[in-house]
Structures are given as C-alpha cells and as structure tokens.
Amino acid sequence: MAKPALILLVNGPNLNLLGTRKPEVYGRTTLSEIEADVAAAANAEGAAVLCFQSNHEGAIIDFLHDQRANAAGAVMNAGAYTHTSVALRDAIEAIEIPVVEVHISNTHRREEFRHRSLIAGACVGQVTGLGKHGYTVATSLLLGILRGRAEGR
C-alpha cells in the first residue's frame, strides 16, 4: 500500500497560548485541540499530519527546510511573522510545496498593519477569519490541490 501523503501544520509565535488568553479574538480552543482536528480531517482523507509550533522565526524556517523532502504541502498560521518576515516568505518559495496560509481572526477587520501579508504571494491561498474552522478548511483545500496535481488537473 502507498505511504499516506504527509502534510505539515505549522503555527508561529504565541499560538501556543491559544485557548488560554484573548478568547474574544482567538476563541477557547487550544492548539492541541486544533492539531487533533486537523489530524482527524487529514486522516479521513488518507493523509498524515506533522505538527510544529515555534516562537522563533529561524526555527520555523529550519523546520520547513528539514521537512521539504518529506512533505507534500503545509497549512501555516505564521502569526505575527505573516506581517513582518521576508525570510519566511523566501523559505515558503524555496521549499516548492504548496502552503495554505491560515488566520483565526479576520486580519482585514483588525489594525492596518495586519492587513498586509508578506507570505501571501508565496502561498497557494489564504483562509482568514473562520476561527478554528479555518484550519480544517485549509487542510481540505490543500488536500484537494494535492489530489488535483496528482491527477494532472
């Protein structure tokens, strides 16, 4: 039997605090619960998930480099690095696997500095403002894109 496709779930700075602070913005669901939801959604479609969270820009970039040969794609909430990190954008371009950008809050309804994503141009798409559901939506989208590519669509 073929090995299931591996997708990466990457979360950036402060997202380890999900469910413990600022529930009015980020909800009450913890990161572990989100990771379990994504794993269940991916497993149901025959894919496996490797989860990673870091508060350090370089650690996220190293993780992407290390996993690029193993993974078919990634779902990523880069947190505040979304708005600041050219290095992360370059890493997403460099790994040449499709990455779907996710945000829990609707970044366009928030402060001006959150309206611009430096990584968006390197990602295949963006899901923003759907709360925790954005992660499973992004996972399904990514798996659909991967299936389409495998079938030459």
Binding track over 81-120 against ligand CA2, x by CB under 6 A: -x--------------------xxx-x------x------
Q: Which residues have C-beta within 8 Å of that of residue 115, sequence separation ≥ 6?
A: 107, 108
Of the candidates 56, 81, 83, 103, the residue annotated as catalytic is 103
Residue carrying the six token digits 């073929």: 2
Q: Buried b / exposed e across 127-153, counting CB within 10 Å, b at 16+?
A: bbebebbbbbbbbbbbbebbeeeeeee
Q: How far is the CB of 80 from ligand CA2 (least distance, A)?
A: 4
User: Binders of ligand CA2 among 7-66, rule CB under 6 A?
Assistant: 14-15, 17-18, 21-22, 26
If the CB atoms of residues 67 and 82 are measured against ligand CA2, the closer one turns out to be 82
Residue 36, CA distances (Å) to 33, 43, 68, 140 in order: 5, 10, 22, 15
If the CB atoms of residues 22 and 149 are measured against ligand CA2, the closer one turns out to be 22
If the CB atoms of residues 8 and 72 are measured against ligand CA2, the closer one turns out to be 8
Q: At what angle are helices 86-95 and 57-67 packed, to 10 degrees?
A: 0
> Is 79 a binder of ligand CA2 (CB under 6 A)?
yes
- Give the span between the Cα atoms of 5 and 103, in whole angstroms: 24
81 is known as an active-site residue? no
103 is known as an active-site residue? yes
Active site residues: 26, 103
Q: Which residues bind ligand CA2 (CB under 6 A)?
A: 14-15, 17-18, 21-22, 26, 77, 79-80, 82, 103-105, 107, 114
